[in-house]
Amino acid sequence: MSNARARLLVAEEDSQLALPGLDSEPEWTWTQVEEETTLDRFEHTTVMREETVRALAVRDGGTYVDATLGGGGHAEAILDAADTARVIGIDRDTIALAAAGLRLARFGDRVTLIHDAFGNLESALLAHGVGKVDGVCADLGVSSPQLDEAERGMSFRREGPIDMRMNTTDGETALEMIARMDDEELANVIFKYGEERRSRRIARSIKRAHDNGELHTTLDLRRAIVRATGPVRHGGVDPATRTFQGIRIAVNAELDQLEALLAALPKVLAPGGVGAIISFHSLEDRLVKHAFHVRETWAPLWKKPLGASADEQTANGRSRSAKLRAARLIDHSVEGDP
Ligand SMILES: C[S@@+](CC[C@H](N)C(=O)[O-])C[C@H]1O[C@@H](n2cnc3c(N)ncnc32)[C@H](O)[C@@H]1O
């Protein structure tokens, strides 16, 4: 099956996905029934690909976790870097997993795909019989297809349901969260995760729209936000940007997930193993910086985070806010380490 014609065949509830290169026991199942979903349009430009592989010091025989598999770009780079390296790829998004499965099929049993949230890293590896690993990378946030597909509800530029979940098979949608929260809770989400100063006014306007039966699509949500802020763009940024980001982070518990991932790293890495995390906003980067500052546990690879090269920033605007932090788990059996 060529990538261009590849189809994710989804039949009945709990059926296993038919993926080339994956023919063993079901690792994950599909609970949402869809007729047929094309995967050939899954396009995401990998950020800081080479830098991540270098940080992980990928070697033959090593086992690496890509905790945010997405389109499989980092995983592919790791597998290409050493002929007998293995990758455990994790994603909470079934479409991403399926797309990455197709892209990585040529590596056969060097790849294991797991449908889970990386906050469950330790138990997910245990459940799959994976012992200590040599490196874990995570490229945080959402993929381009998640942002671009209207039906994911993450973009205020496209009309779609107010969903925003990365894992569309589980949990509360953004609309359900908005309905559940009172004005103050919603304002706190918008302020804390969106870093939006006008959070109270915006939250009131969103709740009013909801209570009046006017909140059905992402464009309705944007309208409610703009009603509170006015249409003026500050520094070219749409007035709905911060609120959408805040709601998305809350719906997916993104910072709780990151904290759980950072707490799991010392438990799943072999001594001397490397954790490499790419973050895209200060809320995430602060958590990573803080975790890697524990001197008895980590030897950071660099003092300051690494940014994307000038060339990459020109070619891919998204890479401009990327920060890669990496640290090696100190090997206490080696005298004088670090
Ligand atoms: C920026 S994309 C990764 C792109 C990938 N590195 C590539 O080059 O193709 C981030 C991915 O991480 C996934 N993700 C985000 N948070 C997650 C979490 N807590 N658990 C598992 N996957 C997560 C998203 O579903 C998305 O597919």
Model pLDDT for residues 246-266, shown as the tens digit of each residue:
999 999 999 999 999 999 999
Q: What is the pLDDT of residues 205-226, one digit of tens each?
A: 999 999 999 999 999 999 999 9
How far, in Å, CA of 262 to CA of 118, rounded?
Answer: 10
**pLDDT confidence band for 12 (50 / 70 / 90):** very low
Nearest CA to ligand 1 atom 4: 70
The pLDDT of residue 260 is 98
Determine the distance separating the centroid of ligand 1 and the alpha carbon of 216, expressed in angstroms: 27
The pLDDT of residue 177 is 98
The pLDDT of residue 44 is 84
Pairing of strands 133-139, 86-91: unpaired
The reported pTM is 0.88
Determine the distance separating the centroid of ligand 1 and the alpha carbon of 66, expressed in angstroms: 9
Nearest CA to ligand 1 atom 3: 70
Determine the distance separating the centroid of ligand 1 and the alpha carbon of 5, expressed in angstroms: 24
Nearest CA to ligand 1 atom 24: 142
Nearest CA to ligand 1 atom 5: 70
**pLDDT confidence band for 40 (50 / 70 / 90):** low
Burial label, 149 (beta-carbon count in 10 A; 0-12, 13-18, 19+): middle
Nearest CA to ligand 1 atom 14: 68
Helix boundaries (H) for 293-337:
310-315
Q: What is the mean pLDDT of residues 69-86?
A: 97
List ligand 1's pocket residues with C-beta within 6 A.
Answer: 44, 46, 68, 70-74, 90-93, 96, 117-119, 139, 141-143, 166, 257
Per the omega criterion (within 30 degrees of 0), is the bond before 338 cis? yes
Give the dihedral sign, CA 138/78/116/161: positive
Q: Which residues of 104-137 are buried (b: 16+ CB within 10 A; e: fewer)?
A: bbebeebbbbbbbbbbbbeebbeeeebeebbbbb
Nearest CA to ligand 1 atom 7: 73
How far, in Å, CA of 23 to CA of 27, rounded?
Answer: 10
| Side-chain-facing half-sphere of 91: CA atoms under 13 Å | 30
The pLDDT of residue 29 is 31
Burial label, 71 (beta-carbon count in 10 A; 0-12, 13-18, 19+): buried
Region of poorest pLDDT, from 158-162, 233-237, 294-298, 312-316: 233-237
Nearest CA to ligand 1 atom 12: 68
- At 21, the amino acid letter reads G
**pLDDT confidence band for 333 (50 / 70 / 90):** confident
Q: What is the mean pLDDT of residues 65-75?
A: 97
Determine the distance separating the centroid of ligand 1 and the alpha carbon of 332, expressed in angstroms: 32
| Closest ligand 1 atom number to CA of residue 119 | 19
Question: What domains are defined for the chain?
Answer: 43-145+255-329 (3.40.50.150), 168-251 (1.10.150.170)
| Ligand 1 pocket mutation pick from 51, 64, 69 by most atoms within 8 angstroms of CB | 69
Determine the distance separating the centroid of ligand 1 and the alpha carbon of 219, expressed in angstroms: 25
**pLDDT confidence band for 45 (50 / 70 / 90):** very high
Nearest CA to ligand 1 atom 22: 91
Determine the distance separating the centroid of ligand 1 and the alpha carbon of 336, expressed in angstroms: 36
| Ligand 1 pocket mutation pick from 91, 111, 152, 252 by most atoms within 8 angstroms of CB | 91
**pLDDT confidence band for 24 (50 / 70 / 90):** very low
How far, in Å, CA of 105 to CA of 121, rounded?
Answer: 23
Q: What is the pLDDT of residues 89-131, one digit of tens each?
A: 999 999 999 999 999 999 999 999 999 999 999 999 999 999 9
| Closest ligand 1 atom number to CA of residue 49 | 8
Residue of 108 and 25 predicted with greater confidence: 108
**pLDDT confidence band for 26 (50 / 70 / 90):** very low
pLDDT higher than 60, residue 6: no
Determine the distance separating the centroid of ligand 1 and the alpha carbon of 338, expressed in angstroms: 31
